[in-house]
Structures are given as structure tokens and as C-alpha cells.
Amino acid sequence: MKPDSRDLCNTRKAHSTQHTAHRTQRLLLSAVCCLLSAGVLGCESVQRKFIRKRKEAPRPSPIVQFRDYREAMDALERYRKHFVLFQYWNGELLRSLGSGMSLKAARHVSGEALQELRTLRGLLTEPAGASLDPMIAQRQQIHERLMNGTYMPSQPGPLRQTLETQTRLIYRDFTWRDVQERLHVAPAAPAAPAATADGPNADGH
């Protein structure tokens, strides 16, 4: 028996209506999800816009304390430092003789060597310091003659012999190994007052 054409038509319409309803539900669900997402994102952006960010506390700047290096050096280290400087400038002065070095340069290295020799004298106790005085006086005369042009680096003459003799005496008797028991000792720094339970002093002041 053939199915009634009306029943077929009604069945098709029912399937079509059901399919349309499912599709409509899916569209509505998608729209609701989109609205919820937009709302959440909108709230976050509004919060970021109107809520102040917490200010970070500035980092404290490092405190640098500079210490005078001369105070940190003991007497022997200071003497050794200035003796090495004297060696350098005295060697430059000896090399300047007959080497074509300008008079200006020779005067400079002579002055530096003389200054370092005086510094060594100030670090020595007596009578070691007094024994260095004649050499300083002799070096002062050499420097003055270089300054007034009596001695010329290009014509060393007896100047080289005098400087070489004096240099041998200084290296023999006044190295830091020779004078380490004859140096001024810097006074020790005063000790800090002891702290108590009540404060810096026992009486609370």
C-alpha cells in the first residue's frame, strides 16, 4: 500500500522545522558566548583604565664610601711605593743623558726624582733620615743646574758620573729592605666606644 502523500509532506515539514530549531539554538548559543566574552574583556579593559597601578618604591641608591688609600697603607708599603717611583724617575733621568732627550723633559724627570727622594726622607726616622740629607742636597744642585741651563742632557760630562755614584749609594743603603726597622709608624686609630644595652653609653647619653 503506497504511503499517503500528505503524510510524507507532513513528515518532511516536521524534519525541516526540527532542523531549523536546532540551528537557531546554535546561533543563539554562539551569540550569547560572544556577548559574554566581550563583556569580560570590556570589564578587564575598564579596570586597567581606571584602576591605578601600584607605584613601585624607588630603589635605594648605593652608598659609596671612599677611603684614603694612604691611610690603609702601612709605613713599609708607603716607603716601597715611593722608592719604586724614585727608581723610575731616576732611571729616566740617567737615560736622558746623551740620548737626545729635550732639556724640558730632563728637567721634568729630574724634578720628579727629587720629589720622591724628599718623600723617602720624610718617612725615615733619625738618624737614617739625616744620612739621606747630603744626597738630597746634591740632587737639588743638579736639578737647579738643569733648570738654569748649566747642565745639558746632550753634554752630560761629569753629571752622569755623579748621578750614577749617588744612585749606587741609595740602592745600597736605602731600599725598603734596608730601612724597614727605621720608618715612622703611623699612630693607630682610636677604638670606637663599646655599645651597651642602654645605648652608646651606660648613662644613656
**pLDDT tens for each residue of 163-184:** 999 999 999 999 989 998 999 8
Q: Which residues contact 99 (CB under 8 A, 6 or more apart)?
A: 153
Closest by alpha carbon to 183, among 41, 82, 62, 42? 82
Query: Residue 115: inside a domain, yes or no?
Result: yes
Query: Residue 193: inside a domain, yes or no?
Result: no
Partners of 199 in beta bridges: 196
pLDDT for the residue numbered 69? 47
Per-residue HEC secondary structure of 36-104 comes to HHHHHHHHHHHHHHHCCCCCCCCCCCCCCCCCCHHHHCCHHHHHHHHHHHHHHHHHHHHHHCCCCCCHH
Q: Are residues 90 and 159 in the same domain?
A: yes
Query: Residue 80: inside a domain, yes or no?
Result: yes
C-alpha cell of residue 29: 548559543
Q: CA 147 to CA 135: how far, in whole Å?
A: 18
CB 169 within 8 A of CB 135: yes
pLDDT tens track for 118-163? 999 999 999 999 999 999 999 999 999 999 988 888 877 788 889 9
Give the residue numbers spanning the domain of 134.
73-179
Decide: helix, strand or coil at residue 112.
Answer: helix
Query: Residue 203: inside a domain, yes or no?
Result: no
Query: Residue 3: inside a domain, yes or no?
Result: no
* Residue that is written with C-alpha cell 644613656 in the block: 204
Domain count, the chain: 2
pLDDT band for 196, please (50, 70, 90 cuts).
very low
Is residue 190 scored above 70 in pLDDT? no
Q: Are residues 117 and 30 in the same domain?
A: no
Q: Is the dihedral of CA 65, 68, 69, 75 positive or negative?
A: negative
pLDDT for the residue numbered 45? 53
Q: Are residues 171 and 77 in the same domain?
A: yes
Q: Are residues 94 and 140 in the same domain?
A: yes
| Mean pLDDT of the 11-16 span | 54
